[in-house]
Chain A
Amino acid sequence: RKEVEQDPGPFNVPEGATVAFNCTYSNSASQSFFWYRQDCRKEPKLLMSVYSSGNEDGRFTAQLNRASQYISLLIRDSKLSDSATYLCVVMAPSSARQLTFGSGTQLTVLP
Chain B
Amino acid sequence: GAVVSQHPSRVICKSGTSVKIECRSLDFQATTMFWYRQFPKQSLMLMATSNEGSKATYEQGVEKDKFLINHASLTLSTLTVTSAHPEDSSFYICSAFSLTSGYVLGYEQYFGPGTRLTVT
Contacts and interface: CB of A to CB of B under 8 A. Distances in A.
Nearest to A32: B105
B91 A98 contact: no
Given A32-B105, A44-B44, A104-B43, A98 B111 contact: no
Contacts of A97: 32, 97, 107, 109
Nearest to A92: B46
Q: How large is the interface on A (under 10, 10 to 19, 20 to 34, 35 or more residues)?
A: 20 to 34
Contacts of A41: 91, 116
Interface in B82-102: 91, 93, 95, 97
A49 B103 contact: yes
Given A31-B105, A46-B108, A103-B43, A98 B113 contact: no
A43 B46 contact: no
27 contacts: A32-B105, A41-B116, A42-B114, A43-B93, A43-B111, A43-B112, A43-B113, A43-B114, A44-B44, A44-B93, A46-B108, A46-B110, A49-B103, A51-B104, A87-B43, A96-B32, A96-B57, A97-B32, A97-B97, A97-B109, A98-B34, A98-B46, A99-B34, A99-B109, A100-B46, A102-B43, A103-B42
Given A42-B114, A44-B93, A99-B95, 18 more contacts: A32-B105, A41-B116, A43-B93, A43-B111, A43-B114, A44-B44, A44-B111, A46-B109, A46-B110, A49-B103, A96-B57, A97-B97, A97-B109, A98-B34, A98-B49, A99-B34, A103-B43, A104-B43
